[in-house]
Structure 1
Amino acid sequence: MRVLFVTSNGVGHAFPVVSLARALVAAGHEVLVATAGEGLAVRQSGLPVADVAPGLTRAALVERVRAAEPEAVREMLAGRIRDMREVARPISVLVRALVDGVLDLAREWRPDLVVQSQAQHAGLVCAGALGIPLAEHNFGLVRATGMAELMRELLADVFQRHGAELPQRRTVLDVAPPSMVPGPAGRLLRYVPYNGSAPVPDWLSEPVDRPRIAVTLGTVAPGDSGIGPVERVLALAGEIDAEFVLALGAVELGALPDNVRAPGWLPLNALLPTCAAIVHHGGAGSTMTALDAGVPQLVLPSGADRYVNADAVRERGVGLSAAEDELDVPLLNRLLTDAGLRAEAAAVRAELRAMPAPEVVAAELAEWIRG
């Protein structure tokens, strides 16, 4: 079986598909990832990757979206989004940017199945044009019910140009723990974190004499809303009996308190097992990786789907959420000492680990295609 993965041009959408793609390869299937821009970093995983929109960086795409749908972008950055359908028009701009490259690649490579990352529907057009099944791989807690039909309306000219209709056979691969969402969107798939490749420092495996707190803003938030939350953490760090590790990449921070490390970019799935807690921006990758590690979270959301994730973390009891200006010493101490948060985080970790593993779902997909 040949499986074409189609993802948008960002690591937050490309990285979550890696574990399933690797499971398919291990089972003897052929896999190819179609993406662009920052999404090309998925090459680090060892998977074959094709650039379907050369030069289309995330910054270039954002400018296109801002020009075409300025009000929708303002709503998204303000954090008012609760359903993917609310940002269907901005997403349609992404589809138009990728779809021709995806179709050219697919017509040459001839896949048997298309797996598309959530919030990216060039794969929908591709599967419809080739008359093959489609699996939508979601990346977190936000729901996308009804998006295919809405995209068919918004992209009627694109569907017509490529001779496509909605694929007759579609399924959704849902990585969200059922206790944190209204209901499963489709086939459950255990979330196995892949956070990129980077050298792991020796000190990460050494014993620590006090709790460790990871701090990250992901790959997108610093460019959208700045590093204000990190600066606030740094202002408070000296009053907390903990070691803070800033997993931020190349960010200029100046002098740091003695109990703060800034090693540059670290894969969260390597860092979090050594941590007692995490402070982050609410990105799906950070949220889901923390859930997989069973680590209490403090979420300081900053737009897009991050408020959805923050609300779910708070309501499930696996962490806390706050505005940046609400971050203070008592809140950080509660994150470290609240036994209830730790117990619920462990419960959700067990829930995730009980979901069907990527190799199981890979076999199910192969059987589905044969059926």
Structure 2
Amino acid sequence: MRVLFVASAGVGHAFPMVSLARAFVAAGHEVLFATTGEGLAVGEAGLPVADVSPGMNRSVMIAKLRAEHPELVRAMQAGRIGDLRETAELIGVMVRLQVDGVIEVARSWKPDLVVQSQAQHTGLICAGALGIPLVEHNFGLVRATGLDETLREQLADVFAKHGAELPERRTTLDVAPPSMVDTPVGRPLRYVPYNGAAATPGWLAEPPLRPRIAVTLGSVAPKETGIGPVQRILALAGEIDAEFVLALGAVDPGPLPANVRGTGWLPLNALLPTCAAIVHHGGAGTTMTALDAGVPQLVLPSGSDRYVNAAGVHARGVGIAAEESEVDSVLLTRLLTEESLRIEAAAVRAELRALPAPATVAAELVEWAS
């Protein structure tokens, strides 16, 4: 079987699908990622990639969104998720940027199944144009359902151009811990983190001398809202008996206190098993990787779905949601010492590990799509 994975220009949409793609490959199937921009980094996982929109990246995409729907973008970045029609308007802009390239690749490669990242919906049109089944792969706690019919209406010209209708067979893969969402959707799938390829430093294999706290803002938030939360942590670090590890990629935070280690880009799935806690921005990939590692989280949300993730972490008792201005030594000490956070984080980790593995789900999808 040939499986085409479709993701937009961002690692946050491409990386969560890597474990399932690898499961298909391990079972003897062929896979291809159709993506662009930052999403092309999925090739570092050893998976074939097609650039469906050369020159496109997340910055270009956001500029296009802001030009066409400035109010909706401001609302999204403030954490106000719109209704179906507003959400579909934003998704429609992204679809138009890469749908022609995706379908061109698909018609040439001839997949038997399309797997699209949650709420991207370029895969929806692609599967409809080719008359093959569609799988939507979600990546966190946000529920994105009921958009297909609205998008079919708003993108009628795109559907007509490619001779597409809504696929007859569709299913969803849900990686969220059932105890953290009101309504599980579709087929459960264990979230197996993939956070990029990088050599791990030698010190990571050594037991930390004191509790270690990871600090990250992901790959998107620093460009949108800056590194204010990190600067606040640096100002407080000397008051906390802990080692802080900054996983900030290419961001330079300036001089570091003695108990703060800067690492550049470091995959969280390698770092977090050595940590007692994590402070982060609320990105879906970071939130889910922390849940998989079973470490308490301090979430400082900065836009879009990050507020949903922060609220879910807080409500389940696996961490604390706060505003940047609320971060002080008391809150950081609580993150390290509150026993209930560790107990609940361990419980959710066990819940995630009990979900069907990617290999199991890949086999089920082959049977379902055949």
Deviation at 1:341? Answer: 0.4
Name the amino acid aligned to 2:56. L
Name the amino acid aligned to 2:75. E
Identity percentage of aligned residues: 74
**2:144 paired with 1:148:** no
- Residues 213/34 of structure 1: CA separation in 2 closer, same or farther (3 Å cut): same
Question: How do residues 229-248 of structure 1 correspond to structure 2 at under 5 angstroms?
Answer: 229-248=229-248
- Partner Cα separation in structure 2 for residue 278 and residue 175 of structure 1: 21
Question: How do residues 1-371 of structure 1 correspond to structure 2 at under 5 angstroms?
Answer: 1-81=1-81, 86-370=86-370
Deviation at 1:88? Answer: 2.0
Name the amino acid aligned to 1:107. R
Contact 1:280–1:298 (Cα < 8 Å) also in 2: yes
- Partner Cα separation in structure 2 for residue 244 and residue 85 of structure 1: 43
3-state SS in 1 of match to 2:233: helix
Q: Which runs of 5+ in 1 are unaligned?
A: none
3-state SS in 1 of match to 2:285: helix
Deviation at 1:172? Answer: 0.2
Of the structure 1 ranges 87-96 and 129-138, higher mean CA displacement relative to structure 2 is found in: 87-96
- Residues 302/128 of structure 1: CA separation in 2 closer, same or farther (3 Å cut): same
Deviation at 1:86? Answer: 4.5
- Partner Cα separation in structure 2 for residue 69 and residue 86 of structure 1: 9
- Partner Cα separation in structure 2 for residue 296 and residue 149 of structure 1: 39
Name the amino acid aligned to 2:44. Q
Deviations 1:183-234 (A, max 9, x none): 1111000000000011100001101121000000000000010000000000
* TM-score, with structure 2 as normaliser: 0.99
- Partner Cα separation in structure 2 for residue 360 and residue 31 of structure 1: 17
- Partner Cα separation in structure 2 for residue 304 and residue 88 of structure 1: 15
Deviation at 1:85? Answer: 6.1
Deviation at 1:167? Answer: 0.3
- Residues 133/110 of structure 1: CA separation in 2 closer, same or farther (3 Å cut): same
The Cα RMSD (Å) is 0.9
Deviation at 1:119? Answer: 2.2
- Residues 96/35 of structure 1: CA separation in 2 closer, same or farther (3 Å cut): same
Name the amino acid aligned to 2:94. L
- Partner Cα separation in structure 1 for residue 318 and residue 24 of structure 2: 32
Name the amino acid aligned to 2:149. E
* TM-score, with structure 1 as normaliser: 0.98
Name the amino acid aligned to 2:23. A
Deviation at 1:118? Answer: 0.7
Deviation at 1:123? Answer: 0.4
Contact 1:6–1:115 (Cα < 8 Å) also in 2: yes
Deviation at 1:90? Answer: 1.3
Name the amino acid aligned to 1:254. G
Name the amino acid aligned to 1:87. T
- Partner Cα separation in structure 1 for residue 74 and residue 50 of structure 2: 32
- Residues 84/273 of structure 1: CA separation in 2 closer, same or farther (3 Å cut): farther
